[in-house]
Amino acid sequence: MKLSTVTIETDRGWILESIDDQTFPVLESFTSDANILGTPEGFLKFTIAMGGNEVSIQRTYKKVQDVLANTEGLINAVIVIFAFVIIPYAEKRFYEAVIKESYDVNLYKLPNKKVVYENIEDGANN
């Protein structure tokens, strides 16, 4: 009978790392051999050996800080894109404010003037 070991590492923590290790033997192979004539040691020889193979399984789950870090990365990307869209508008408003402070820029309305159109037909005014 040949045995091997299996190690399972499970991270059960939500916020901090909390690793739980479990190690147990597993039957790798089984062979039987019997001597019907018998020997001075006996007619049945039973051998248990540990194999050189070891299986290791690691299980981890997403933590709260990983989820928050991923969402923060997405939010930062949106902010950068938003900044590139807003920068030209902000520069225009900045220059507009500088010009208004530096110069007296006022729009004055001129008094309404009535435009009179004349029909000129054969030299006569109507």
Residue 75 has pLDDT above 60, yes or no: yes
As a whole number, mean pLDDT of residues 115-123 equals 59
Q: Specify the higher pLDDT residue, 23 or 109.
A: 23
Q: Determine how many CB atoms are found less than 10 A away from the CB of residue 75.
A: 10
Separation CA 94–CA 103 (nearest Å):
14
**Contact assessment for residue 43 and residue 34, using Cβ atoms and an 8 Å cutoff:** yes
Given this model, what pLDDT does residue 92 score? 92
Given this model, what pLDDT does residue 114 score? 66
Q: Specify the higher pLDDT residue, 29 or 119.
A: 29
Q: Specify the higher pLDDT residue, 104 or 58.
A: 58
As a whole number, mean pLDDT of residues 65-74 equals 86
pLDDT grade, residue 119 (50/70/90)? low
Contacts of 110 (CB under 8 A, 6+ apart): none
